[in-house]
Amino acid sequence: MKVIFVDGGKGGVGKSTIALAITDILYHDARDKIAVVDADTRNPDVARITQAVDGIDTMIASLRTQDDWAALLGEIERLAGDGVEYCVLSLAAGENSVQQKAPTAAAVFRALAIEAITVHVMNRGVDSVAIARESLESGLASISDRFVAVMNGYFGAAEAFCRWRDSQTRRRWQERGGLEVWVPELYYQCVDAVSHSQRLPSDLATDPAAINTVGRIQIIEWIDAIRSRLAAPLGLLEDQEQQEAAANG
């Protein structure tokens, strides 16, 4: 089982959008049992969509206290026992309890042979770099088997992320095996359409009655771009190769 934490530490960096895109790709490509946990109890954007999708086990869970984390880890164990292959966990903004709970989560994942992956979504600000440093030193990235920094194209082209590119944090991130990708933005008209549709973006893009042709093409191109950039960091290519090998005997 893989647990994919989608983090960023602050609001407005695009965590929910990226978490939804990852869920979309897993749902349509992996064909395995998947689950989604939305830790934003005040505005669970991801859960509002995925709970309407057949085949996705969705829950909304606060992670503010030790008991909350214990309950979450218990649910992850249940999901693993039920044969769920991927769990996408979208963290809330300002989740300050993560650092204290990371060691316990790491111990549980080792005991259950769960692979932890952190997707750290960033804007161009110095605060995103600081939050990445915290994640690397004592947070989710520090306990993850894979971790990738995602530069959200909503905030500019890859070369515009100069604070990250020139930082000591980035150098340490790479030295410890961390990856980085830049992903294009999804135009706001498409974001609005997805958020109001209660459908995954790829499914919305197949419905001419729901969104115009330009919007459908933009959604398809955006999902394809994220798939091409994140498939390797998330280990999806390896999973597909293993599945094909098993199917061929």
Do the Cβ atoms of 95 and 135 come closer than 8 Å?
A: no
Examine residue 219 and state whether it is found in any structural domain, yes or no: no
Does residue 8 sit within a domain?
yes
Report if residue 214 sits inside a domain.
no
How many domains are there within the chain?
Answer: 1
pLDDT along the chain (249 residues), means of 10: 92 93 92 90 94 94 88 95 95 73 89 96 95 92 95 96 97 97 93 90 94 95 96 79 55
Cβ-proximal residues to 193 (8 Å cutoff; 6+ apart), any chain: 204, 210, 211, 215
Q: Is 53 part of a structural domain of the chain?
A: yes
pLDDT tens-place string over residues 194-208: 988 889 999 999 999
**What's the CA gap between 173 and 133, in Å, rounded?**
8
Each residue's pLDDT tens digit, 137-172: 988 999 999 999 999 999 999 999 999 999 999 999
**Is residue 217, in this structure, part of any structural domain at all?**
no
Residue 205 belongs to some domain of the structure:
no
198 assigned to some structural domain: no
Which residue range is the domain that position 171 belongs to?
Answer: 2-185+230-247
Residue 27 falls within a domain, yes or no?
yes
| CATH assignment at residue 105 | 3.40.50.300
| Angular region, 83: left φ>0, alpha ψ -120 to 50, beta rest | left
